[in-house]
């Protein structure tokens, strides 16, 4: 059983940041806090709903905390890396990698697992990112 199964019952909720409901960033925050002990910024108040793709893209592209992330080659994906996707022309949706081919993300009907190899996702992928604290842990591990 994958760690991702614990999150599948979470419903979609704009600006949600808890197991009672989350948007894609809220789901990422929940997973990182519970599974990795990494606290990510909330960004509540930075946008009014997940439908504001341009505002979210501006936040992603201009966020000072983005310096905590390093781009990862698709051939080097590890669990908990973050996949960043376009919605229309804007980079505004995130998912958490389960393995090299599957991701957990917040869909319209709640948290779900998708295959990154599906054309719908592969065509929209703009990059895979790893948090610096994960990189630090990998360097320390034997």
Per-residue model confidence as pLDDT tens digits over 56-85: 555 566 554 567 888 899 889 999 999 989
Contact between 78 and 39 under an 8 Å Cβ cutoff? The reply is no
Contact between 12 and 109 under an 8 Å Cβ cutoff? The reply is yes
Number of domains in the chain: 1
pTM, to two decimals: 0.85
CATH code at 39?
3.90.1720.10
Q: What is the mean pLDDT of the chain?
A: 85
Domain residue limits at 26: 3-140
DSSP for 38-104?
-PPP--BTTBS-TT-HHHHHHHHHH-GGGGGEEEE-GGG--TT-EEEEEETTEEEEEEEESSSSEEE
pLDDT at position 142 is 45
Name the burial class of residue 39, with classes exposed (0-12), middle (13-18) and buried (19+) by CB atoms within 10 angstroms of its CB. Answer: exposed
pLDDT at position 65 is 54
pLDDT of the chain, 142 residues: tens digit per residue = 689 999 999 999 988 999 999 999 999 999 999 999 999 888 777 666 665 555 555 556 655 456 788 889 988 999 999 998 988 777 778 999 999 999 999 999 999 999 999 998 999 999 899 998 887 776 655 4
pLDDT at position 56 is 58
d(CA 98, CA 62): 27
């Amino acid at each position: 059983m994958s760690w991702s199964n614990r999150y599948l019952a979470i419903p979609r909720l704009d600006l949600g940041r808890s197991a009672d409901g989350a948007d894609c960033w809220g789901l990422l925050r929940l997973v990182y806090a519970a599974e990795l002990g990494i606290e990510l910024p909330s960004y509540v108040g930075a946008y009014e709903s997940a439908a504001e793709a341009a505002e979210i893209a501006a936040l992603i592209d201009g966020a000072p905390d983005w310096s905590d992330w390093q781009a990862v080659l698709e051939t080097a994906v590890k669990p908990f890396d973050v996949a960043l996707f376009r919605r229309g022309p804007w980079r505004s949706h995130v998912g958490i990698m389960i393995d090299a081919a599957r991701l957990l993300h917040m869909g319209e009907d709640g948290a779900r697992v998708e295959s990154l190899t599906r054309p719908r996702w592969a065509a929209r992928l703009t990059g895979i990112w790893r948090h610096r604290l994960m990189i630090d842990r990998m360097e320390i591990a034997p």
